[in-house]
Structure 1
């Protein structure tokens, strides 16, 4: 019989200790009521509106589409396929990185990926694809195939003193169990990529997908992978591919 590692044993014990917790323990009735209300009035909608104002003032659809090498009318469909190879970048990039590129092309000061400007504009730009399905194509070319493989490696790699990985909480045999009284989600069914940037109720702010990755790493006591790095972009490619075909709904709403 296969022996569990110390870290795997600790995870199993944590999951077993909460496996019988009732659903209400993961979210109180008051939180559920608040969640239902926020579904109708997502606070992050204001951030998306601010992102639209900034985007139109600093870049604009026409200039942005030209930089991406697509027609303006085709932007929504094109955006549903990110992360993807952008010819002017010469590599696989995220929507946030294309905004940095567009601002650099216009001779403007380029904000960091974690800045409010980039977060809000990213949410607005991705919202242009709302209602469409994620259409990432990880087999489209060599670079996408390489980033998909890198993302899977990052997702499954055990790191830190506890020997944890993304897969430790999101593998098929763990999904649905509880850790810290929260159900561990299936990232595909949960529409992970199609619903970020999202408003996090527990943090009262909008968070991007890559920043959420960093928060998970921090909670697991792992060194945070830098935003914009090959490893982080690869991880977003891998997770986005899990949600391929799911509807894009920006901004999302998360606990």
Structure 2
């Protein structure tokens, strides 16, 4: 090896050593946040947003109609601000619905798309993938806005209490509950800080961070998908897409997040 090559190798080793020391001086939380910030500029969620907007405006389904007359809670066609007020009660279905289940209702009533194509579908495929893209785009229209879920209807208050009970319900082979990981301050799993979701965890954290792009598996995850995976980790059976229990959990976490600013779509490890 020449003198120049030896010098270059030594310089490279020095740079690696300096970087290692710098990383070691940071907390794991700071390192993770820096990693997320680096990825945010190229967040693949942008592609899902684009697809969602296209699907919203495109005439599809047996009725060959768009979703531009879909009422997500603030009037037909209104998307700005709806995400931070969902889940909420809808009189036409007589149900409390979250963003995804409401989108399924609109896809069914306006476009004639069979809800089973989403409910019984697979993550990342077919109409369920379309619902994910739509949810990503709609949610992004409320970025930076504060959560203030309505609780004026008795059905909404019942859903909150139902979600609270579900949050603290233990079960499965490991006797886990949502509260096992997210019921108090200062908990962590591996290098991941776990927010306390029994209160407002802060802007862009917990309920205010989904939909999010998961780098680890290259998928866009909505809150329905996030809750599905939480149940998997608790060793519970997979909940039905848009089921009352997942929506109730959304109400509980959303009301607790009162005043937090939505950061979606975010990026996760």
TM-score range relative to shorter protein: 0.7 to 0.9
Structure 1: how far apart are the matches of 2:44 and 2:165? 35
Match of 2:256 among 239, 242, 249: 242
Contact 1:68 1:88 survives alignment (8 Å): no
- 2:85 aligns with 81
Counterparts of 1:32-181 in structure 2 under 5 Å?
34-58=35-59, 60=66, 62-65=68-71, 68=73, 70=75, 72=77, 75-110=79-114, 111-113=117-119, 114=123, 115-137=128-150, 139-172=151-184, 175-181=185-191
Tell me the equivalent position of 1:11. none
Maintained 8 Å contact 2:58/2:67? no
Q: 1:184 to 1:69 in 2, by over 3 A?
A: closer
Change (3 A) 1:240 1:32: closer
Q: Which residue in the other structure is 1:227 paired with?
A: 241
The answer (yes or no) to whether the contact 1:131–1:248 under 8 Å persists in 2 is yes
Question: Do the aligned residues in 2 keep the contact of 1:152 with 1:238 (CA within 8 Å)?
Answer: yes
Q: 1:116 to 1:23 in 2, by over 3 A?
A: farther
1:185 maps onto 2:195 in alignment: yes
Q: CA RMSD in A?
A: 2.5
Tell me if structure 1 keeps the 8 A contact 2:70–2:76: no
1:245 and 1:34 map into 2 onto residues whose CA distance is 26
The 1:106/1:42 distance shift into structure 2, 3 A limit, reads same
Q: CA deviation at 1:107?
A: 4.1
Task: Give the match for residue 3 of structure 2.
Answer: none
Equivalent residue, structure 2, for 1:14: none
Larger-gyration structure (1/2): 2
- How far, CA to CA, are the matches of 1:237 and 1:186 in structure 2? 15
Structure 2: which 5+ residue stretches go unaligned?
1-23, 60-64
Q: Matched residue of 2:80: which SS?
A: helix
